[in-house]
Amino acid sequence: MEIDLLTVESARTAVLEKQTSANALVDAFYKKIEAEDKAIGAYLTLCKERAYSQAARIDALADKGDDLPPLAGVPIAIKDVFTTKDVRTTAGSKILEHFVAPYDATVVARLEDAGAIILGKTNCDEFAMGSSNENSGFYPVHNPVDHSRVPGGSSGGSAATVAAGTAVASLGSDTGGSIRQPAAFCGVVGLMPTYGRVSRYGLIAFASSLDHPGPFGKTVQDVAMMLQAIAGRDPLDSTTADVPVPNYREYIGRPVTGLKVGVPAEYFNEGLDAEVRASVEMGIQELKNAGAEIVPISLPHTPYAIPTYYVVATAEASSNLARYDGVRYGLRASEGKSLAEMYRRTRDAGFGAEVKRRIMLGTYVLSAGYYDAYYLKAQRVRSLLARDFDEAFAKVDVIVTPTTPTPAFKLGEKADDPLAMYLADIFTVTADLVGVPGISIPCGKSEEGLPIGMQILGKHFDEATLLQVAHVAEHALAGKATS
Amino acid sequence: MVTEKDVSYVADLAHLDLTAEERARMLKDLNSILDYIDRLNQLDTSNVEPMAQVASRYGERKDQADGFSYAMRSDELQSCLPRDEAMRNAPVSDGTFFKVPKVIER
């Protein structure tokens, strides 16, 4: 079996039609991981016992001749920010190096209920803070397309497993672009669902009002099938919305005739790499050729998105990360003389430089005298960003932009300049702040052969239209690449 | 402008010690990032409501096309993690309580 080419659907069909067994698939993927992942570093932990026991369950179902659940036998990888019962869960941080989660995240449980096989936990920037995966507390991830380049972040490991073929699909989380940006850099599809579409229960919190779980896959259909399994309200996360979940597969293959596609001028400014611009303009032209109406729009507050994000996200992070104090989660530095000293020593030893920087910034903007000037100010600008999108979506069905201003950069290139690194997320952060869904699909390559991503943003809870448009673009662009 | 004193004060609030080297770096980075964040002051937001949550803007407009409601449940006692599982990751415990350095001197 040629496992590199497997999609969610073909993996399931292969098991259903007995071309292979789930057990044999798991064997083949672990063999590939052992041979190839050392050079990439996408996995932090493999959970073989769990994978083989799930494979046995699927093979038993297949032997009975029962119809199989929708993701049956599909080998997947999970970003290490989602808790997995009895499996080490680190969030990419030394402070959780030996943490073994006592329960499964809702998304993990739902993927396994749908028949997926979890091969392991993927590397990421520490607590999902970063755009290059260089902030992992363990080791960086290398882009499978070019090992000297970053895979993007923070879900770089999850994107890399799909790009390298060491998992069929994977799960990541997006707080400022952490699914879409690595998807663009690695040449795969990455979907950030609407805030409230997918449960955050068991997602180790970075910034609670911005954290979105979502899937990676080789194709738009693959992420649609993954989304189907994880979407919907969860009594364990009160911010999941009571909005019906449509059958996303029904939207795959529908034409885009008559749909209005907004193109915001602010995303095509002078900071945009020329090759990225040309590729995304070609993608937009393909949508036009397919019958969509292209509508120039404006999202005027776009230049304020990054500063807004770095106030809101760090403020929430400084609060969320207060729980790592050496009492409950594994790491405790040598006993200090007092409780406060034990806290400080543990946090100093356990957190990396970027996490400390964000905790400090977040604590500063929330501190007495600065709360109104920074935190409240940023929340007001967040309203203005939402207003931009409300006005745009009154006129158009989806918005199309580049996912990133440049293709993947080199390891080390931005590691010493936090502000330059933050600007890698300039086209993705706004959707997190506003809560609208977004997808990145491969859209051509640079002259050096590096993948370029096109981002499509949709209305709240309208992932269906997003997937419909993305699928049309994906097929038009694939035809172009081979012709 | 963040000063060395501010860095010490904030590190204290955040329960971080930070080495001398880390403090120097933090001073430089915080000033550079806050300088960038200052561009928010170009906007007049005096009549704009703060948005803390997606729900605070869209979740309360249930009657409108883009509004929705959030998952609510009755406030009833439900099962939770058994104590031994909840304590399993504690670095120091006596099996019943988390143990920490002495807080109160007698």
Catalytic residue flag (residue A440): no
Residue A483 has pLDDT above 50, yes or no: no
Tell me, what's the pLDDT at B63?
60
Q: In whole angstroms, how far apart are CA A61 and each of A68, A69, A75?
A: 7, 9, 16
Q: Which of residues 59-88 of B touch A (CB under 8 A)?
A: 59, 66, 68-73, 81, 85-86, 88
H or E segment to which residue A263 belongs: strand A260-264
Tell me, what's the pLDDT at B75?
85
Question: DSSP assignment of A128-194, as one string?
Answer: G--SSSTT-SS-PPPBTTBTTB---SSSHHHHHHHHHTSSSEEEEEESSSTTHHHHHHHTSEEEEPP
* Chain A: residue whose CA lies nearest to B31: A361
List pLDDT tens digits, range A227-262.
999 999 998 998 998 889 999 999 999 999 999 999
Residue type for position A190: G
Q: Please state which CATH number belongs to domain A260-300+386-482.
A: 3.90.1300.10
Tell me, what's the pLDDT at A416?
87
Q: Mean of the per-residue pLDDT values for chain A?
A: 96
List pLDDT tens digits, range B11-69.
999 999 999 999 999 999 999 999 999 999 999 999 999 998 887 777 656 566 666 66
Token pair 């292969």: residue: A14
Catalytic residue flag (residue A178): yes
Of A102, A382, A418, the CB nearest to B88: A102
Token pair 């364990």: residue: A236
The yes/no answer to whether this complex scores an ipTM above 0.90 is yes
The helix/strand/coil state of B1 is coil
Distance from CA of B28 to the nearest CA of A (A): 11
Of A99, A195, A359, the CB nearest to B16: A359
B15/A contact by beta carbon, under 8 A = yes
What residues contact residue A305 under an 8 Å CB cut-off, 6+ apart? A385, A426, A429, A430, A433
Distance from CA of B18 to the nearest CA of A (A): 6
Catalytic residue flag (residue A79): yes
Would the CA dihedral through B42, B43, B44, B49 be positive or negative? Answer: negative
Lowest average pLDDT, out of A39-43, A391-395, A402-406, B98-102, goes to B98-102
Q: Which residues of A touch B88 (CB under 8 A)?
A: 100, 102
Give A294's strand partners. A261
Token pair 């029962």: residue: A66
Q: In which band, very low, low, confident or very high, does the pLDDT at A66 lie, cut at 50, 70 and 90?
A: confident
List pLDDT tens digits, range A137-186.
999 999 999 999 999 999 999 999 999 999 999 999 999 999 999 999 99
- State the distance between the two ends of chain A, measured CA to CA, in whole angstroms: 27
- C-alpha span between A304 and B42 (Å, rounded): 9
Taking domain A3-251, whether its CATH number is 3.30.1490.20 is answered by no
Count Cβ neighbours within 10 Å for each residue of A198-211 and write b for 16 or more, e otherwise.
Answer: bbbbbbbbbbebbb
Instruction: Tell me where in chain A the CATH 3.90.1300.10 domain(s) lie.
Output: 3-251, 260-300+386-482
* Chain A: residue whose CA lies nearest to B2: A364
- C-alpha span between A453 and A476 (Å, rounded): 14
Token pair 């979407």: residue: A231
Over residues A406-413, mean pLDDT: 97
Q: Residue A4 in contact with residue A67, Cβ under 8 Å? A: no
Q: Which residues of A touch B20 (CB under 8 A)?
A: none
- C-alpha span between A381 and B40 (Å, rounded): 8
Question: DSSP assignment of A52-102, as one string?
Answer: HHHHHHHHHHHHHTPPPPTTTT-EEEEETTB-BTTBB--TT-GGGTT-B-S
| The pair of three-digit structure tokens given for residue A279, joined into one six-digit string | 């590729």
Q: In which band, very low, low, confident or very high, does the pLDDT at B102 lie, cut at 50, 70 and 90?
A: confident
